Amino acid sequence: MRKKQICFKEILKYIGLILCFVAVETYFRVQPQMQSLYVPVLDEVPILFDLLYGTIFATLITWIPDSRCFLKKLVYTVIYGFWVIFLFSEYLYCRIFGRVYGIKTLQYAGEGNDFINIIFSYFDSATFLLIGFFLLVGVLGWFLVPNYPLKTGKTIKRCLGGGIFAVCVAVIVLTPAMFKEVSSDSGTATYYMKKVIYDKWIDNKRAVSMFGAYEFLSRDIYLSFLPKEVSEEDVSAVNEYFSEDEITVNDMTGIFAGKNVIFVLMESMDDWLINEENTPTLAKMMDEAITFSNMYTPIYGSAATLNTEFCSYTGLLAPADGNPIVNYTNNFYPYSLPHLFSEEGYSARSFHYNSPQYYNRQNIHNAVGFQEYVSYLDYEDVDTAAMDATLTENDEIYEKLIQDTPFFAYVITYSAHCTSGGKNYSHEDRALEIYPEYLNKYESEEMDSISAKARLTDDMFAGLLERLKEDGLLENTVIIGVTDHYDYTISDQDYLKELSQSENVYELSKTPFFIWAENISPQTVEKVANTTDIYPTICNLFGLDNHGYYIGNDIFDDGYEGYAYWQDGSWISSDGAFYSDTGEGIGKFSEDQDLQMHNLISEKLEVNQLILDTDYFAQLEEND
């Protein structure tokens, strides 16, 4: 009797193993934090990629000789374990930061230690359900690891396995060529089509949704090692963009020219935190200042604080592809605020708690023109240095701040950094020891913590006003306050939305921005603005000539209607909004307006990326 050549049981196990890999990726992708209305949950493209990668993994495992059963199981465990760790880390990252990390983001892995304490606060029922699903499928896959289904020789086995592998790889490579081309005059926002996302790789979360996590990581690794080539067309595209801009002059132009500047980037100082009870000094300053009541600070790039920081003094966003800012420290930034103020005879120093190596700030600050980076850790122990008031309470640091007038001092606060949940506050924060009245003040321990921390930042402003007045500098000094981002580390986001009176994560990004000077006429600017608008607005107020090289707008420009935009295509304007995560448009919203905003967003993000990739300003200097 002839021996069977095909074992259908093993074929079914082989197919089952493929579906295990598809199942874990699909379940990960449809989590509320991951899945937005970029594509339907069961869109054919991510499912196709999942099937192809699942087939590759299953084929590699099946290829191992049946006599080496332990090796088969081990290889399966390694492959499955790697992907589960990756998917779970992406899930937690997205829960905390609202976005997906790419391979380039791992350069900031050391700085991620700050968030270790808050990770476990995200272990809720949804997280444990995800873990349980991963474990269940993992065990199922263990029992489904198949023997080779064909009773044939080694040569045929190798040929068949190699053929399946080659076909899968070929389909993976060729599939993007079939993505629909959409012309700019088609009435569709081309920047967010599959082909554009795949080619430009400018939105990691959207890429995961559109192509699945397996293809996302594979392509992300490939692009990370692929050198970027700069073309004359790229430079010409930036030239064309800037040629369309006109430098405007208005009633606010140059009103602060020649005055000292203290620019304070306020870590996590959300709008709901600033009030007469929690932050009396800041509340009073904002009442007396030019206050921008609709400033939004969307998060771009790999590091939220560093994005707002870099944008505030260069007018450029962090790279949309996740490439860390540190990779652009060799670029030329002649129109940064430190350089522009220095050209006017100012000194330019930056001040912060952290060491110069953190986020590689010393190199970044040197690149943009600061003459010195002053770290509090060089003057105080860790606990004292972490208090924002150290800026004025330590005489050596304060003298650095005010020396060489006129001065441009860029101060990055720290006390309100990273709410970690419970009473285990990051970096041994002593806020509740100093201000115990905040214990049990709110319904959440996290809110107690961040409120006490905000009070510490307020103490710095109080000390700053007092010392500047004593030294006769207050009358000739302008203090600018900008919040880097809302406190996204707070685990109870629903309660945070209630306190912030926000309906969604986009509205949470509305943060304080004010410009204070003694005896200035107070005014509230209600125009919607975004992070890129800070730089041109400051240049206008101080009469700095930046030759129009910025991608944002002067908020005081009457021709600027005002808007904020996010990397996923969401936007908010003065009379409407579109939220990409739900596909909802509100207010005076129309398809034409949405298309116009999408095209505007795409142009700005693309030009921003080209400026960084081409080292555009160095190219300008070479051509002059």
Question: Does the residue 236 lie in any domain?
Answer: no
pLDDT tens for each residue of 559-575: 999 999 988 888 999 88
Cα–Cα distance, 181 to 526 (Å, whole number): 40
- Answer whether residue 71 shows pLDDT above 60: yes
pLDDT of residue 428: 42
Residues 432 and 581 in one domain: yes
Closest CA to 320 of 532, 486, 574, 110: 532
**Cα–Cα distance, 56 to 161 (Å, whole number):** 9
SS (H, E, C) 282-330: HHHHHHHCEEECCEECCCCCCCHHHHHHHHHHHCCCCCCCCCCHHHHCC
* 564, part of any domain: yes
Residues 271 and 348 in one domain: yes
Of 194, 225, 256, which one is at a domain's C-terminal end?
Answer: 225
Most confident range, picked from 108-112, 200-204, 332-336: 332-336
Residue 142 identity: W
Percent of the chain with pLDDT over 70: 91
548 neighbors 557 (Cβ within 8 angstroms)? no
pLDDT value at position 495?
83
Q: Please, are residues 297 and 446 in contact by the beta-carbon 8 Å criterion? A: no
Q: Is the model more confident about 37 or about 141?
A: 141
Secondary structure (3-state) at 21: helix
Check whether residue 217 and residue 357 sit in a common domain.
no
Shared domain for 36 and 146, answered yes or no, is yes
The reported pLDDT for the residue numbered 53 is 97
Residue 556's pLDDT is what? 96
Same domain, residue pair 215 and 289: no
* Residue 431 pLDDT: 82
Helix, strand and coil percent figures for the chain, each rounded to 5:
55, 10, 35
Q: Please state which of the ranges 6-20, 191-205, 528-542, 565-579 shows the lowest mean pLDDT.
A: 191-205
Q: Which amino acid is at 574?
A: S
The Cα 340–Cα 550 span in angstroms is 13
The tokens for 193 are: 């089509």
Tokens 């962090």: give the residue: 318
Q: What is the pLDDT of residue 422?
A: 41
Q: Rounded to whole angstroms, how far apart are CA atoms 223 and 265?
A: 33
pLDDT in tens, 353-381: 887 777 778 888 999 999 999 999 999 98
- Asked if residue 425 belongs to a domain, the reply is yes
> Residue 136 is part of which domain span?
8-225
Peptide bond into 406 cis (omega under 30): yes
Q: Under a CB-based contact definition with an 8 Å cutoff, are residues 450 and 416 in contact?
A: yes
Domain membership of residue 459 (yes or no) is yes
pLDDT tens-digit series, residues 227-246:
777 778 888 889 988 887 67
Look at residue 379 and tell me if it is in a domain: yes
Same domain, 544 and 611: yes
- Same domain for 169 and 39: yes
Question: Is residue 230 situated within a structural domain?
Answer: no
One domain for residues 466 and 552: yes
Q: Is residue 203 part of a domain?
A: yes
Residues 181 and 324 in one domain: no
* Residue 465, token pair as written in the block: 């006003």
Above 80 in pLDDT, residue 158? Answer: no
Q: What pLDDT does residue 110 have?
A: 56
- Same domain as 361, residue 424: yes
pLDDT of residue 122: 76
Kindly tell me if the per-residue pLDDT of 426 is higher than 60.
no
Same domain (yes/no): 457, 336 = yes
Higher local confidence (pLDDT), 408 or 305: 408
CA end-to-end distance (rounded Å), the chain: 87
Question: What total of structural domains would you count in the chain?
Answer: 2
Mean pLDDT of 113-139: 83
Pull the structure tokens for residue 221.
């690794």
- Beta-sheet pairing, 576-579 with 571-573: antiparallel
Question: What is the value of pTM for the model shown?
Answer: 0.87
Establish how many alpha carbons lie within 13 A of residue 280's alpha carbon, considering only the half-sphere containing its beta carbon: 4
> What CATH number does the domain containing 339 carry?
3.40.720.10
pLDDT mean across residues, the chain: 87
Per-residue model confidence as pLDDT tens digits over 490-532: 777 788 888 888 888 889 999 999 999 998 999 999 999 999 9
Q: DSSP secondary-structure letter at 12?
A: H
Q: Is residue 400 part of a domain?
A: yes
Mark whether 470 and 597 lie in a shared domain. Answer: yes
Residue 85 has pLDDT above 60, yes or no: yes
